[in-house]
Amino acid sequence: MTQEEKRFIEKIVTQINESIKSDIRIMEVCGTHAYQIAMFGIRKLLTPKIHLVSGPGCPVCVTEPDYIDALIALLRHENVSVATFGDLLRVRGSSGSLEEQKSLGRKVITVYSPEDVLVLAKKKKGEYIVFAAVGFETTAPLYAALLQTAQKEKIQNLFLLTSLKRMEPAIRFILGEAGVHIDGMLCPGHVATITGIGPFLPVTTEYNIPAVICGFEAMDIIASIGILCKQITGEVPHRLINTYKRCVRDTGNPTALCLINEVFRISDVSWRGIGMIQGSALTLNHRYEVYDAAKRFNLKIETTTTSFPDGCECGKILIGEKTPDVCNNFGRMCTPEHPMGPCMISSEGACAVYYRFGGDEI
């Protein structure tokens, strides 16, 4: 960071801290934002009147246990390997986690990219590879590109078990049905890289809440919080501002959006700790359903209401109603080494971030 950039940050921080006279709540929807805010120590710079609360944007945290159970059920087939991003390994279903299955000798393969899955499928010709397709719109086009390539190259042993989620219905749920009170929203920059600004416009136009599409550097986050504060205090009118223009075009990434439309359709899905949100899922459409592991292996993913371990507040934390420190298990019975709830499992989960870097109280 240059001296000029440092001075810019200091100037904004001073302006923010002088302008905020009463408590305000700003939600960072994205798990990566939660992590970066804590890592850069941004809370320490800001007045304690600004409460930064987390939202539902950690895909691993909102994945239902039934989905994990379905992946584990697949591993009972002799010829099936489950490929997954590392984040999902420790998430527990009612029958344990993929990590435990792996230690029992079942075929669980950690991958870095959908490209690795293609290589795997080509290498293990006599076997079936099921890729655990979890994520938001940022990752959805990657799965779509993978299937398009599989179709072109006539690869027939590759399947997806999808639990892909859309951000806009979740945001509407939080601001509408759940009635969570926030004064401003930091919108997820890498989801917007794909979707464009469209899904985030309603935050301001329909719910009249200041919103900024934000990048992930300290300067992006501080400048975005500064802009939110100017809107919250009424210095400037409420409107959606994109401070991450170096990456996010208004129309998003049209090639990626086309791919999503080519491969997926919109349907409903249950979010762990939150419940069913209509229109919030991306599932394979009729053109690509031959790649659907649920159909191929006759799996039923029940969408029962999630039960959490005793005292676990993840359900409230995921919608920004509570912060991890209010949970009695936090740091005592529940730590990243021995996580009880989903928010402690992913490194971007609100509880794991609080545990590692501290929270509001610093």
Partner 1 sequence: MCVAIPAKVIKITGAHAEVDIIGNRKKINILLIDELSIGDKVMVHAGFAISKIDDEYFDFLRNIFEEMMVDSP
Where along the sequence are the contacts to partner 1 (CB under 8 A)? 2, 4-5, 8, 12, 30-32, 57-60, 85, 87, 112-116, 134-136, 138-139, 141-142, 145, 188, 190-191, 193-194, 215-216, 219-220, 223, 226-227, 230, 235-237, 241, 243, 245-249, 253, 255-256, 259, 346, 348
**Is 36 or 323 the residue whose CB approaches partner 1 more closely?**
36
Contacted entry of ligand SF4, partner 1, none for residue 116, CB cut-off 5 to 8 Å set by kind: partner 1
Q: Which is nearer to ligand SF4, 60 or 314 (CB)?
A: 314
- What is the 3-state composition of the chain as percent helix, strand, coil, each rounded to the nearest 5? 40, 20, 40
Contact with ligand SF4 (CB under 6 A) among 85, 136, 244, 330: 330
Among 111, 132, 194, 314, which residue sits at the site for ligand SF4 (rule: CB under 6 A)?
314
**232 interface partner picked from partner 1, ligand SF4, none, CB below 5 to 8 A per type:** none
* Segment 68-71 long-range contacts (CB within 8 Å, at least 24 positions apart): 68/92, 68/93, 68/95, 68/97, 68/98, 69/93, 69/94, 69/95, 70/161, 70/294, 70/299, 70/300, 70/301, 71/98, 71/130, 71/132, 71/161
Q: Give the CB-nearest residue to ligand SF4.
A: 341
What distances in angstroms separate CA 41 from CA 20, 91, 189, 326, one per listed residue? 19, 27, 20, 20
Q: Does 221 bind ligand SF4 (CB under 6 A)?
A: no
Distance CA(165)–CA(96), nearest Å, equals 23
Q: Tell me the closest approach of the beta carbon of residue 349 to ligand SF4, in angstroms.
A: 7
User: Quick check: 168 binds ligand SF4 (CB under 6 A)?
Assistant: no
What is the distance between the alpha carbons of residues 196 and 77, in angstroms, rounded to a whole number? 41
Binding partner at 343 among partner 1, ligand SF4, none, C-beta below 5 to 8 Å by kind: ligand SF4
Q: Decide whether 233 or 335 has the Cβ nearer to ligand SF4.
A: 335
Cβ-based neighbour number of residue 124 at 10 Å: 16
Query: Tokens 């086309």 correspond to what residue?
Result: 258
Site mask for ligand SF4 (CB under 6 A), range 50-79, x = bound? ------------------------------
CA dist 250 → 199, 204, 242 (Å): 11, 16, 8
Question: Nearest CA to 159 among 123, 125, 124, 133?
Answer: 133
CA angle centred on 333, ends 312 and 71, rounded to 5°? 60
DSSP state of 25: E
317 binds ligand SF4 (CB under 6 A): yes
Choose between 249 and 295: whose C-beta lies nearer to partner 1: 249
Q: Is 343 in the site for ligand SF4 (CB under 6 A)?
A: yes
C-alpha span between 161 and 284 (Å, rounded): 9
Q: Which stretch binds ligand SF4 (CB under 6 A): 104-112, 208-216, 268-276, 306-314?
A: 306-314
**Tokens 């086009």 appear where?**
141
Report helix, strand or coil for 198: helix
CA 308, chain centre distance (Å): 19
Identified binder of ligand SF4 from the candidate list 150, 175, 327, 353, rule CB under 6 A: 327
Is 324 a binding residue for ligand SF4 by CB under 6 A? The answer is yes
Chain contacts with ligand SF4 (rule: CB under 6 A):
309, 312-314, 317, 324, 327, 329-330, 334, 340-341, 343-344, 351
